Amino acid sequence: MGKSRNFFHLHLVSDSTGETLMTVARAATAQYEDVEAIEHVYPLVRSARQLEQVISEIEASPGIVLYTLVDTELAERLEQAGRRSASPCVNILSPVFSVFQSYLNVQLTGRVGGQHALDADYFHRIDALNFTMLHDDGQIPGNLDEADVVLLGISRTSKTPTCIYLANRGLKAANIPIVPDIPLPPQLFSVRRAMVVAVIASVERIQQVRQNRILSLNAGSFANDTYLDRRQIAREIATTRKLCAERGWPVIDVTRRSIEETAAEIMSLYRAHKSALVDQLTS
């Protein structure tokens, strides 16, 4: 019999998108077994009127309050409301700002949503995302070497979401499926600038994901197809490993990895790849 879960209200108040808060809150919550947060997310809170609505919801459902509010008056008003409702309030960026200010000896500018500015980095990420979407699932292989990363993998190894995540980090990522009896595009074997990496998973994991995919599509006619056959899946994985061994391409097993963890490993490999390219050009 499974343990009962304990629920608590978690209020996330931000004058920007709230992404930072959600990342921190979920990382913290994940460290506590049998505890689950009921999240209340309030993005773009920038006026006293907006804050009053937030406070009314906190008072109706007291819990932990995490916030990122640059406006000190709004922050103080939220802190007061938290004390009244016995809801601890934490400005998660405050200790970070203190360290920066002490070390750099500069004043905080108090710029709301500064990390989301429409600067060169922003447009670089948009360009990477456009490239990635155009090169999903083996499309437009003619300019593969314009990619930063070329991701290979058999069906249901999370190639597309991983590439989209990489694009949001500014990397142009193309993905190419490895399909039995279908040759890979010849352009793949002539790339010089792009880093080629493959993803695999266990036979059990791939079979499970493929089965769920078929069920979601109501594609019952494929139930006995080789697509779900364990021996066929094992052959596909072996083919991937053999190809990468011959070419010297790295392989990442994503069986127990989240997309974020897979992307982090790819970005680490790409930094080493990029450094090696620079060394070649300068030597």
140 is in an annotated binding site: no
Which domains, from first to last, does the chain contain? 6-114 (3.40.50.2300), 120-282 (3.40.50)
The rounded distance, in Å, linking the Cα atoms of 15 and 168 is 22
Structure tokens of 224?
């006995």
255 is in an annotated binding site: no
- Report the candidate in 191, 19, 193 with the shortest Cα–Cα distance to residue 92: 19
Which residues are within 8 A (CB) of 94 and not within 5 positions of it... i.e. 6 or more apart? none
Q: Give the model's pLDDT for residue 105.
A: 82
**Whether 99 contacts 76, CB under 8 Å:** no
pLDDT digits (tens, 9 = 90+) for 217-251: 776 555 557 899 999 999 999 999 999 999 999 99
Q: Give the model's pLDDT for residue 1.
A: 47
- Adjacency order of strands within the sheet including 195-200: 173-177, 149-153, 195-200, 251-253
Structure tokens of 84?
């009244």
Q: Give the model's pLDDT for residue 58.
A: 97
The rounded distance, in Å, linking the Cα atoms of 271 and 277 is 10
The rounded distance, in Å, linking the Cα atoms of 206 and 223 is 14
Q: Give the model's pLDDT for residue 178.
A: 97
Q: Where are the beta strands (DSSP E) in the chain?
A: 6-14, 35-42, 64-68, 89-91, 149-153, 173-177, 195-200, 251-253
**41: which strand partners?**
12
CB atoms < 10 A from the CB of 136, how many? 17
The rounded distance, in Å, linking the Cα atoms of 63 and 60 is 10
Burial 143-159 (b: 16+ CB within 10 A, else e): ebeebbbbbbbbbbbbb
40 burial via Cβ count (<10 Å: 0-12, 13-18, 19+)? middle
pLDDT digits (tens, 9 = 90+) for 69-82: 989 999 999 999 99
160 is in an annotated binding site: yes
170 is in an annotated binding site: no
Counting Cα atoms < 13 Å in the Cβ hemisphere of 130 gives 6
Work out the pLDDT band at 258, boundaries 50, 70, 90: very high
18 is in an annotated binding site: no
**Tokens 């594609």 identify what position?**
219
Range scoring the smallest mean pLDDT among 44-48, 109-113, 132-136, 206-210: 109-113
153 is in an annotated binding site: yes
- Report the candidate in 199, 205, 213, 180 with the shortest Cα–Cα distance to residue 249: 199
Strands 64-68 and 149-153: unpaired
Q: How many helices (H) and strands (E) does the chain have?
A: 9, 8
**66: which strand partners?**
12, 90
Work out the pLDDT band at 44, boundaries 50, 70, 90: very high
**150: which strand partners?**
174, 196
